Amino acid sequence: MKASPNRSRPRPHSRRQNPAAWLLLALCALLALPAAAEKVKLDPSEWGHPAGENCASCHEKASPGIAEQWHQSAHKSAGVNCMDCHQADAADVDAIEHEGHVIATIVSPKDCGRCHEKEYREQEGSVHAEAYAIIKDRVPALAHNVTGPEMQAAGCDQCHGSRVKVRGDGTLDPATWPNSGIGRINPDGSKGSCSSCHGRHSFSKAQAREPSACVRCHSGPDSPDKEIFEASKHGMIYAAQRDAMNLHADTWVAGKDYTAAPTCVTCHMGAAGKVPATHDVGMRNAWSLNTPVSQRQYLVVLDDGSKLELPADAKPPKRGSELTKADGSTAKVKVVATPERRRLVMSTVCLECHSKTMTEGFMRQFDDVVELYNSKFGEPAAAIMAGLYDAGLLTPLPFDEPLEYTYWELWHDEGARARHGASMMSPNHAWWEGMYLVGRNFYSRFLPEARAVAGEQAAALVDAHIDGAEGHAWLANQGEGNPILGWMPPPQPEPAASADADAESTAPAPDSQEPAAEHAPDAGSAAVDAEDAAAVADAGDTATEETPQ
């Protein structure tokens, strides 16, 4: 991939650039974000399917769990029965006959959208709806090659969604179903799965507002948002004040209906002050955080209602121009929201509780971490990998070489963790579980392994990318004191002992790379390690010998 020298200054630039865009954006905000939590507009005569009146009688016995959930649900009190959601046309690919009625097992977002049209439209264009498309080309390399296709159904697809296959005999292929992944490709062509967050069959508002609604997927090594939230001040207060969260309220506007703490929903989708609620969950994200190099992103709203994210270091696409979407189809640009605009929406949520200076200060700290990651690790690592591939020193086949795992974990796990940690205020995830591991990996695994792969070309293909870079300049100070690991240079040498002291100051040179050797998997560096240790021991001996002098 092309590493863009993201020198962190696109912001004022684009802000100055087109004042007309701001007008457009205001319009966009009005169009794309209607003002309040939406009530169902469909006429009540459109639901209460007569054929659905008797389902419960049998299902109370056959599947009492879901029947009871429905009995307790808002759907039931509104008169929405099984057939309202499960009805199907005989011509639908996944239609089946059940007790004399034509139904479909899968209730797709399109089905939910009959009543919940606004939510359907919003999620349809969201990054959630693209969750399958985003990784579909990666799945063969990881799930299929490294493990086996079985893992796609049990792993990847559980979160990202499956492409549901209806077999010729009308049954749903168990390799793709059951599935409630958020980017599921449904038999009716719609994308997503409402039940991913809204557990069926109670479809409780309160449940979806809880952070636990997101936990099934937003946890673990690559996007530990659950862990980060729980470790943050927000999460801490939420846990203590859960009773004050007013989770069952009809509307749920931060600052109005609840003030105790934010949840995932609050910042990423929720209504707050004048910010309307949205089911386009990524809309307020200025950065891409789960990429090898983070980028500020435009949100491009297309004329078919779908959306697209484009790096903000390029010129924004022109209104009316045609763009190719992730699924290969094309659509015309309706409006473009700049990353600044997206950030503004997110920050406006903060303002319900925090001052503007505090909010801006926090965002600054967050942006700094992302930019640090980019410039110090993400960009050089990407460039080194690209060089090794170009030089034919790595096979294009992914995950057949140890360095590829190292690189993958650097950005996909550790790097994403650091960036997410900073975005949601978990110091532990920003540092120990995040950027510290990025640094450790970069210096102790990635660089040594990359040098080994590059062999004689290491200077050109590897070191050239870090030599002289500000962030890596510390490597040059090889002789400095080392209180953190317990070694200090001897006291200022007497003039007579100056020759010895010179020798010492060079002796620990390989020592500074000791952590590298420690974690390098191959025996060669273990040997180096031993030598280093000997050198340290020597130096130590010399030191103790000399100290009394």
Partner 1 sequence: MIKLQAPAFITRHVLFALVAGGLGGVAFMFFLLEFDHYTSSNEFCTTCHSMTYADDSYQQSAHYNSASGVRASCGDCHVSEGIVMATYDHVIGTKDLIKQVFGKADYDDPAVNLLHLPDAAFAAREWFRKRDSATCKRCHALDAIQGTRANTAAIHQEETDGKTCIDCHMNLVHRHVPSEQTFKREAWNAMVEEELDLAPGTAARLLSGEDGPEQVAASEPQAEPTAEPESAPAPAPAAKLAEEPVAGSSAN
In the complex, the residues that contact partner 1 under the rule CB under 8 A are: 51, 57-58, 61-62, 64, 90, 93, 95-97, 99-102, 166-171
Question: CB of 26: closest distance to partner 1 in angstroms?
Answer: 49
Q: Are 388 and 447 in contact (CB under 8 A)?
A: no
Token digits of residue 9: 């200054």
Question: CB of 431: closest distance to partner 1 in angstroms?
Answer: 52
Helices (H), strands (E): how many in the chain? 29, 8
Q: In the block, which residue shows the tokens 């980017």?
A: 183
Q: Are 248 and 264 in contact (CB under 8 A)?
A: no
Q: Are 326 and 133 in contact (CB under 8 A)?
A: yes
Question: CB of 171: closest distance to partner 1 in angstroms?
Answer: 6
Question: CB of 169: closest distance to partner 1 in angstroms?
Answer: 5
d(CA 297, CA 464): 29
Judged by beta carbon, residue 102 or residue 497, the one nearer partner 1 is 102
Question: CB of 337: closest distance to partner 1 in angstroms?
Answer: 42
Judged by beta carbon, residue 50 or residue 392, the one nearer partner 1 is 50
Judged by beta carbon, residue 102 or residue 135, the one nearer partner 1 is 102
Judged by beta carbon, residue 1 or residue 58, the one nearer partner 1 is 58
Task: Identify which of 456, 299, 430 has the alpha carbon closest to the alpha carbon of residue 369.
Answer: 430
Question: CB of 52: closest distance to partner 1 in angstroms?
Answer: 13
Question: CB of 83: closest distance to partner 1 in angstroms?
Answer: 12
Judged by beta carbon, residue 30 or residue 58, the one nearer partner 1 is 58
Q: Are 456 and 462 in contact (CB under 8 A)?
A: no
Judged by beta carbon, residue 64 or residue 273, the one nearer partner 1 is 64
Token digits of residue 159: 């979160």
Question: CB of 176: closest distance to partner 1 in angstroms?
Answer: 15
DSSP structure class, residue 481: -
d(CA 401, CA 446): 12
Q: In the block, which residue shows the tokens 């049998």?
A: 58
- Non-local (6+) Cβ contacts of 79 within 8 A are 44, 47, 48
d(CA 33, CA 60): 40
> DSSP for 294-339?
--BEEEEEETTS-EEEEETTSPPPPTT-EEE-TTS-EEEEEEEE-H
Question: CB of 200: closest distance to partner 1 in angstroms?
Answer: 21
- Residue 455 — left, alpha, or beta (φ > 0 → left; ψ -120 to 50 → alpha)? left
Token digits of residue 422: 């900073």
Q: Phi and psi at residue 324, in whole multiples of 5°?
A: -95, 130
Judged by beta carbon, residue 93 or residue 475, the one nearer partner 1 is 93
Judged by beta carbon, residue 99 or residue 243, the one nearer partner 1 is 99
Question: CB of 173: closest distance to partner 1 in angstroms?
Answer: 10
Judged by beta carbon, residue 171 or residue 549, the one nearer partner 1 is 171
Judged by beta carbon, residue 1 or residue 62, the one nearer partner 1 is 62
What is the three-class DSSP state of 487?
Answer: strand
Judged by beta carbon, residue 100 or residue 455, the one nearer partner 1 is 100
Judged by beta carbon, residue 170 or residue 491, the one nearer partner 1 is 170
What is the three-class DSSP state of 251?
Answer: coil
Question: CB of 86: closest distance to partner 1 in angstroms?
Answer: 13
d(CA 513, CA 485): 12
Q: Which residue(s) pair with 185 in the sheet?
A: 163, 191
d(CA 87, CA 281): 28
CA angle 445, 227, 285 (to 5 degrees): 85
Task: Identify which of 282, 87, 112, 98 has the alpha carbon closest to the alpha carbon of residue 203.
Answer: 112
Question: CB of 100: closest distance to partner 1 in angstroms?
Answer: 5
Please tell me the number of Cα atoms within 13 Å of 229 on its side-chain side: 24
Q: Phi and psi at residue 171, in whole multiples of 5°?
A: -85, 160
Judged by beta carbon, residue 171 or residue 395, the one nearer partner 1 is 171
Q: Are 165 and 150 in contact (CB under 8 A)?
A: no
Question: CB of 140: closest distance to partner 1 in angstroms?
Answer: 20
